[in-house]
Amino acid sequence: MSAGISGQAIRRAAGQGRKALVAYYPVGYPDVPGSLDVLRALCGDDDQPGADLIEIGLPYSDPVLDGVVIQRAGTRALDRGVRTRDVFTAVETVAATGTTPVVMTYWNLVDRYGVDAFARDLAAAGGAGLITPDLVPDEASDWFEASDAHGLDRIFLVSPSSSDERIAATAAACRGWLYATAVMGVTGTRTQSSSLAPDLVARVRRLAPNTLVGVGLGVSNGDQAHDVAGFADAVIVGSAFIKPMLAAEDAGDPGDLTGVRTVLADLVDGVRRSG
């Protein structure tokens, strides 16, 4: 599997003697400008190291794989008028910081926009590729063609229920890295990291030894990030960044990024302790 643009970000972290942090945040919450502020914060600055990869979520009206926290943020973003094209502004915002952006989206949104048009606009904005949670390689011929034409990474998912054959085929179809879901079910923070995750990553290592693996769904703090970094190439975190923004809005200060920065510092410390 080619490391692609996004995989190179993971390899750069490895070259620094640590694992990579992938931060997910949806465009449009608390509104589009506010989400751009959060994304910039997640990229870090001179005083606070940020994530190695930013995973920009595109809110969808039927988010069957998203947990309650992401659904709440996504629903509010949709109610406030976020549109598919806003994701390209978000990608440009992240790329301008020097951090690598990828987009996570349900396939229907790409299909409605036009597969080649979406790939064209994503590449033009500086995006590295797409994570497609509800698209399997067997049904991705249009995406293979468009991603090849525009030089974009293809990041597919595997789970603990995936067969050996499915894991091998999915890894072969990826460009960049493979997204391993650490738990069965929907996204969301958990008090303990999944015991299924090490076994799943071990299976990927055995079946596709040259594949970079990111593990997500459930990591909520630096200690969990440290644990996952012990066996994965990248640690993916989403709901833990959205929770403080929901709390800030509920407290009447939707622009307060203090909670996000606190969570980011803890998670960065966790992956950097991985060594």
Q: Hey, what amino acid is at 219?
A: V
The set of long-range contacts for 73-81, using a CB threshold of 8 Å and a minimum separation of 24, is: 73/26, 73/29, 73/242, 73/245, 73/246, 74/26, 74/28, 74/29, 76/29, 76/30, 77/26, 77/27, 77/28, 77/29, 77/31, 77/35, 78/28, 80/28, 80/29, 80/30, 80/31, 81/28
**Helix, strand, coil tally for the chain in percent (to 5):** 50, 15, 35
CA 143 to chain centre: 18
Q: Hey, what amino acid is at 47?
A: D
What residues are labeled active site?
55, 66
